[in-house]
Each structure stands twice: as C-alpha cells, then as structure tokens.
C-alpha cells in the first residue's frame, strides 16, 4: 500500500462523511461551526437510510444509489430552505474567522489521528480481532449482495429464509462506498472511514459542543477551535475503541455524540426557532441509531446531570416565589416518587434481562473486558488522568501530565460556573461507572454498568467525548490568565491570541508525541500486525500472502471457500475477494453449512456433502495451522473441517508455510 492510495481513500471518506450533509445544511441556511458539525450526522443518516430504502425497493446499494439520494436530499433542502426566515446569527453560527480557524483545527486533528493510528503500513492490514473480522466481512457482504440495510446485514452470519435481527450497518455502508469510489482494499477503506469519522466528524462535533457549552466561560470564542484540535489529544476517544474489539460501529456512534450534545444544548438555550434544532436532532438520532443504538444510553448518561440541573433550577425558582411554592412542593414529591419508581423499574428490568431468577447476577459478566483487574480507587485515578487500559492485556497506558493537568483545570473552571457544572457531574458520573466496571466484580457494579456489557473500554470512551470540551475550557482559562502577566505588553492587543496559540501548540506536541498516545499506537498496531509466527494471532505472514493470491488461484469470483474461521480462513472474503462459507467465528448456520460443518471429511463417500457444497458454490478448502488465541472451545465446532485435508478427495493446489489451499476434487465428478 502506498501513502498516496491511503490519502486518496481518506479524501473519498471525508467527502462522503461531510459533503452530502454540508450541502443539505447549506441549503437549509445553516452556517458556521453549526453547519460543519451537523454535516457528519446528516451524511451518515442519509447514507444509512438510503441503504435501508434501497433494500426495500429491491435496488442495489452503491455509489449511484447514494448519489441519487444526495441530489434528492439537496433538492428537498432547497425547497425547505426557501421557507426558512432569516434570523440573527450567533458568532459560531455564521461565517467568521473563528469558523475558518475551527475548520483548520479540525483538519489538523484529522491528520494527527491518521498518523497516530495508522502510521507505517498499518492501514493495509486487516484487524485480527474477534469483532474486527465480522466488520471486515460485512463490507464484503454488502459489496457482493448490493444490500446494505441494517435490517438485513445480520443475514451474513444467519443465512436462511427466516427474518434476522436488526444490526446497525451505517459503518459498513460507509466503508463499502469508500471501496467502490476509491478502489481501495477493504482494510485501507476501513482505515480511511475511521480517520474521516473519528477524526473530522468527531473534531467538528466537539467544536459545536464546546461553542454551546462554554458560552459563559472566560474567552468562549476560543473554545471551538481548541476543542476541535483537542479531539485528537486524548486516548479515550477516538482511539481506545480502535485498540479493543475492534468496535468500528460503536466508534462511529461515539464520534457523533459531541454534535448531538451541542444540538441538545442549543435546544435548551435557544427560546425561539426550536423547530430547526429539533429536526436536526431527529436526523442525528437516525444517524446514531443506524451507527449503533447502544451509544444512546451513553448520551443519556452525559445529559442526566444537565437534566438534573434544569430540574433543580426550576425547583429553586418555584420555592423562592411564594405563590408557586405549594405547587413546587407537590411537583417535587411527584418527581421523587417517579424517580424511585423509575430506578425500581430499571432494576427489575436488569434482573429480568439477566434472568436472575434462574441464574444469579454473580454468574454473569465475568469474562473479557467485564472482568475487573484492579482496585476501585486506582480506576478512578485512571479516569481522572485519562489514561485508558489498552489491548488484550488491559495494561494501563502512562498518562500525559500536561493534558491531564489542563483537563483538571477545565473541570475546576466548569465547577466555578453554574451553567457548566453539569459537565463536571457528567464526567464524575462516567468516571464512577468506569471505576465500577474496571475496579469491581460485584453485583452492583454489574447492574450499574450492564447496559454497556460492563465493558470498561466502552465506558472509558465516553470520557473521551467530554475531554475536548474540558481541555478547551482549561486551555482558554490558562491563556486568559497568562496573557494578563506583566511584561507581555509589547505583544499588544493580540497577546491573548499569541498565548492561546502557544498553549495549544504545546498541548498538541506533548499529547501527540506523549506517552499515552505513543502507547495507544502500539496497542492499535498489535491488533493488525502480521508476523512470521501466529502465537495466538489469527494470521501469519505466509497465510496472508496465500489469501491475497486467491483471485489468481480461484479465477471464478463466484466461488466460495470452506475453512475453519478460527485459523484465519475467515478473511478469504475481505482480503482474498472470495466468499467465505463461514464468514465469522460463530453463526447460526443454515442446513447446507451444517452439513459441511459436520461431514466435510466424508465428501468422497456421502453425496449429501457434495450436494451441499454445490448449492454453496464451494469447491475449495483453505487450511492453516494455528488458531486465534491458540484455540477456543467454540473452535471445536470446526474440527471436522480441520481434518478434512487428510481425507480422500482433497487435492492441494497451493501452499505457503503452514497454510494451504485445496481443491475439493471429491465433488468434481
């Protein structure tokens, strides 16, 4: 892979992630940072909804489908925009120097994100994680089937005529479009889409969030550009979900959260013209729901202190006014009763969800990222320093002192102003839940964090959605104080701007090249690095080389390949452009695949096996030594497939180290 091909793919991904929404927003008379921030959610919603509608209409999903949808969206926006009455705009809602600076800051953040996550040749390598292979093959499924609907994607691992569960496909739709329009491989397109969303979309959303949240803080005009570039300073977001999982759809959904929070604050603050903000929030909800609906509880967690502050303010005002005091007491009691009832209902729902009547909570959520490996206090400190766990070993990354210090200053600044105290509450509440997840294996911790699967990585990433705004508040405060120091008078009236730029530059340098992001880069690299020996990885260099030769070895593009997915053969689809009979490590397989699973080694003697293989268009077997994690009980389901090469009727046609491709000649007759 050349750097030019990655840059081209990133350019396509950024265009797809921003241009459709920017056009719609512009025609709706949105301007400034508001326009830049909502462009991403509108684009993602448009692409994902188009995939659903195309499936319902029986139209293949692809570049032309989305192009038509974009034109229709622009036309509708133009019609609506004509009816929008002009109103007085705020600085961040109009074209200004601040908007340009914010855009440049977001571009710098996007470039930094790309270098930190994918420097070297990492972008060309496939994820070798449990979740990663599903997401890579899901893109192949969309490209081959022409169906990118979130209501059909799960059919990849649940083949058959029955209905399948909803699975959010916005991420996979975006990556598929990048492949189609740039010609990039699926791993490169995946990296490009991640850079576009976790870089540009996240940075611009953080700018709007900061512009709305920091209105009453010192120097609010600097909040947006500082937050935009600060979106690349922390490991919690956007990087932590790339080092664990890999949770591409969740990362996409989290990259949309700041824009949604900015819109919520705008809805609360603006007394008139709320219809437009409500409409934008509906579009944002569509984008988030089709990216990953499980991110919505994270938004609710962040907004909870804001709602509590609003209710508290209303009670306080009602109590001060003697004429409304009795009514206020009544509503307060009713609210307390409703809150107790809601907590009780939530607790019951959790117990029912976990089927606690037949199996105690203590028996659940005990593996993987749900297991606590450290103390509660240590976890709280980890959250405050924004030093996340990383990789399968969950080792804590070293903190970056200056970044952590400025964030703490931001918390202190927000605590001093009534309008931003809710941000401190949101950070504290999220840190508390993270500490419960990472520092306790008790039942209460499982109930409190169960909606996030008690996954410490998902919870830590929520802190990352708040960090840019808090860093912006802290940096602006520092710049304001430093610029007042005697001796800086020769710098004139621009000394504050000079100090702010200097502080931002120092923050950027110490963060981008600091210990936290350096460690995060290593953790990300560990999920894709291919070595000469597997040692518990999914692939080795010989196997990947053979997989990439499949188009040459299997000329018929409609052929499928049988293999134990746990030995790396699962990636013949995403990397070898030949359909995998078993496209994920687990699945709810149809009758033909079950026959192959249970009887493949009898292909030479049982006609039922060859009949099933013919219906699957599968006449090749990919075998390889070594399994992911050096084996797993679930991999035993493929034991028959593993021993098939030793049976009659399997002819080796290519080999690379411990990996080999066989023709199933038992079915040639």
Q: Which of 7-21, 161-175, 301-315, 653-667 has the lowest mean pLDDT?
A: 301-315
Q: Is the pLDDT of residue 118 over 80?
A: yes
d(CA 16, CA 178): 8
Q: What topology does CATH give the domain 541-667?
A: Rossmann fold (3.40.50)
What local confidence, expressed as pLDDT, does residue 134 receive?
97
d(CA 127, CA 116): 16
Q: Is 622 helix (H, G, I), strand (E, B) or coil?
A: strand
Q: Is 540 helix (H, G, I), strand (E, B) or coil?
A: coil
Of 218, 160, 161, 181, the C-alpha closest to 20 is: 181
Residues 137 and 153: beta-carbon distance below 8 Å: no
Tens digit of each residue's pLDDT (9 = 90 or more) over 48-62: 999 999 999 999 999
pLDDT category, 480, cuts 50, 70, 90?
Answer: confident
What local confidence, expressed as pLDDT, does residue 160 receive?
79
Q: Is 655 helix (H, G, I), strand (E, B) or coil?
A: strand
Average pLDDT over residues 142-161: 94
Residue keyed to tokens 């409304």: 324
Residues 661 and 621: beta-carbon distance below 8 Å: yes
Tens digit of each residue's pLDDT (9 = 90 or more) over 246-296: 899 999 999 999 999 999 999 988 766 688 899 999 999 999 999 999 999
Average pLDDT over residues 347-371: 74
Q: Is the pLDDT of residue 535 over 70?
A: yes
- For residue 208, how far is the Cα from the chain centroid? 19
Average pLDDT over residues 70-89: 85
pLDDT category, 334, cuts 50, 70, 90?
Answer: confident
Domain ranges of the chain: 3-300, 307-523, 541-667
More confident of the two residues 330 and 290: 290
Tens digit of each residue's pLDDT (9 = 90 or more) over 379-423: 999 999 999 988 767 788 999 999 999 999 999 999 999 899 999
- pTM of the predicted model, to two decimals? 0.94
In angstroms, what CA-CA distances link 346 with 279, 311, 350, 366, 451? 29, 21, 6, 21, 11
- Judge residue 242's burial from the number of C-beta atoms within 10 Å of its C-beta, 0-12 exposed, 13-18 middle, 19 or more buried: buried
Q: Is the pLDDT of residue 63 over 70?
A: yes
What local confidence, expressed as pLDDT, does residue 321 receive?
62
Residues 85 and 174: beta-carbon distance below 8 Å: no
d(CA 250, CA 256): 10
Tens digit of each residue's pLDDT (9 = 90 or more) over 482-527: 877 755 555 555 677 788 888 999 999 999 999 999 999 999 999 9
What local confidence, expressed as pLDDT, does residue 161 receive?
80
pLDDT category, 370, cuts 50, 70, 90?
Answer: confident
Average pLDDT over residues 17-27: 97
What local confidence, expressed as pLDDT, does residue 453 receive?
87
d(CA 589, CA 592): 8
Helices (H), 513-606: 515-528, 541-547, 550-553, 591-599
Of 621, 423, 605, 627, the C-alpha closest to 534 is: 627
What local confidence, expressed as pLDDT, does residue 450 receive?
85
Tens digit of each residue's pLDDT (9 = 90 or more) over 581-638: 999 999 999 999 999 999 999 998 999 999 999 999 999 999 999 999 998 899 999 9
Average pLDDT over residues 211-228: 89
pLDDT category, 567, cuts 50, 70, 90?
Answer: very high
d(CA 579, CA 576): 8
Average pLDDT over residues 203-229: 92
Residues 591 and 143: beta-carbon distance below 8 Å: no
d(CA 129, CA 200): 25
Average pLDDT over residues 638-662: 95
Q: Is the pLDDT of residue 342 over 80?
A: no
More confident of the two residues 273 and 461: 461
More confident of the two residues 485 and 557: 557
Residues 295 and 301: beta-carbon distance below 8 Å: no
pLDDT category, 129, cuts 50, 70, 90?
Answer: very high
Instruction: Show the beta-strand stretches assigned E in 484-584.
Output: 560-563, 579-580
What local confidence, expressed as pLDDT, does residue 486 receive?
57
In angstroms, what CA-CA distances link 472 with 20, 154, 183, 305? 29, 41, 38, 20
pLDDT category, 147, cuts 50, 70, 90?
Answer: very high
Residues 492 and 268: beta-carbon distance below 8 Å: no
What local confidence, expressed as pLDDT, does residue 371 receive?
85
Mean pLDDT of the chain: 90
Bridging pattern class, strands 659-663 and 618-624: antiparallel
How many C-beta atoms surround the C-beta of residue 56 within 10 A?
Answer: 11
More confident of the two residues 89 and 455: 455
- Say what percent of the chain tops pLDDT 70: 92
């Amino acid at each position: 892979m050349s750097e030019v091909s990655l840059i081209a793919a990133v350019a396509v991904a950024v265009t797809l992630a921003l241009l459709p929404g920017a056009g719609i927003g512009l025609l709706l008379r949105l301007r400034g940072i508001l326009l830049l921030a909502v462009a991403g959610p509108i684009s993602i919603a448009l692409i994902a909804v188009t995939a659903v509608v195309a499936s319902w209409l029986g139209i293949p999903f692809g570049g032309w489908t989305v192009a038509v949808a974009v034109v229709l969206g622009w036309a509708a926006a133009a019609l609506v925009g004509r009816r929008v009455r002009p109103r007085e705009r705020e600085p961040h809602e109009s074209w200004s120097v601040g908007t340009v600076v914010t855009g440049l800051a977001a571009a710098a953040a996007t470039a930094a994100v790309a270098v930190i996550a994918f420097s070297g040749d990492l972008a060309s390598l496939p994820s070798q994680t449990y979740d990663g292979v599903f997401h890579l093959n899901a893109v192949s499924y969309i490209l081959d089937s022409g169906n990118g609907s979130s209501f059909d994607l799960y059919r990849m691992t649940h083949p058959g005529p029955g209905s399948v569960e909803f699975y959010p496909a916005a991420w996979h739709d975006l990556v598929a479009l990048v492949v189609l329009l740039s010609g990039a491989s699926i791993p490169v397109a995946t990296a490009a889409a991640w850079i576009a969303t976790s870089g540009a979309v996240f940075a611009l959303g953080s700018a709007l969030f900061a512009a709305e949240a920091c209105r009453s803080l010192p120097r609010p005009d600097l909040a947006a550009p500082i937050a935009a570039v600060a979106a690349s300073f922390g490991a919690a977001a956007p990087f932590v979900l790339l080092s664990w999982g890999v949770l591409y759809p969740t990362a996409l959904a989290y990259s949309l959260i700041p824009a949604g929070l900015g819109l919520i604050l705008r809805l609360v603050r603006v007394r008139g013209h709320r219809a437009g903000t409500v409409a934008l929030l509906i579009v944002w909800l569509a984008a988030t729901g089709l990216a990953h609906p499980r991110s919505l509880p994270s938004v609710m967690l962040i907004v909870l202190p804001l709602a509590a502050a609003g209710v508290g303010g209303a009670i306080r005002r009602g109590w001060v006014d003697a004429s409304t005091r009795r009514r206020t007491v009544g509503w307060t009691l009713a609210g307390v009763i409703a809150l107790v009832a809601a907590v009780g209902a939530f607790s019951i729902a959790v117990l029912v969800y976990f089927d606690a009547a037949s199996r105690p909570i203590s028996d659940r959520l005990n593996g993987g990222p749900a297991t606590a490996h450290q103390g509660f206090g240590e976890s709280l400190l980890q959250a405050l320093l924004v030093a996340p766990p990383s990789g399968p070993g969950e080792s804590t990354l070293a903190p970056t002192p200056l970044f952590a210090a400025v964030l703490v200053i931001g918390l202190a600044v927000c605590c001093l102003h009534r309008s931003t105290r809710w941000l401190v509450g949101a950070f504290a509440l999220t840190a508390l839940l993270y500490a419960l997840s990472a520092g306790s294996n008790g039942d209460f911790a499982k109930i409190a964090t169960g909606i996030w699967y008690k996954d410490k990585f998902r919870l830590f990433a929520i802190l990352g959605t708040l960090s840019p705004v808090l860093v912006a508040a802290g940096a602006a405060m520092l710049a304001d104080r430093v610029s007042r120091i005697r001796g800086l008078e020769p710098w004139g009236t621009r000394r504050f701007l000079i100090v702010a730029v200097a502080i931002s530059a120092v923050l950027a340098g110490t963060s981008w090249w600091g210990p936290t992001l350096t460690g995060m880069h290593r953790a990300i690299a560990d999920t894709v690095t291919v070595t000469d020996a597997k040692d518990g990885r999914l692939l080795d260099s010989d196997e990947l080389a053979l997989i990439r030769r499949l188009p040459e070895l299997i000329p018929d593009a409609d052929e499928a390949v049988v293999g134990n997915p746990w030995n790396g053969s699962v990636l013949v689809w995403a990397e070898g452009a030949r359909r995998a009979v078993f496209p994920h490590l687990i699945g709810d397989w149809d009758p033909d695949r079950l026959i192959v699973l249970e009887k493949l080694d009898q292909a030479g003697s049982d006609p039922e096996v060859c009949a099933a293989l013919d219906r699957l268009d599968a006449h090749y077997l990919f075998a390889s030594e070594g399994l992911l994690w050096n084996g797993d009980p679930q991999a035993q389901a493929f034991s028959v497939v593993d021993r098939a090469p030793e049976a009659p009727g399997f002819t080796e046609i290519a080999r690379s180290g411990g990996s080999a491709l066989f023709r199933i000649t038992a079915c040639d007759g």
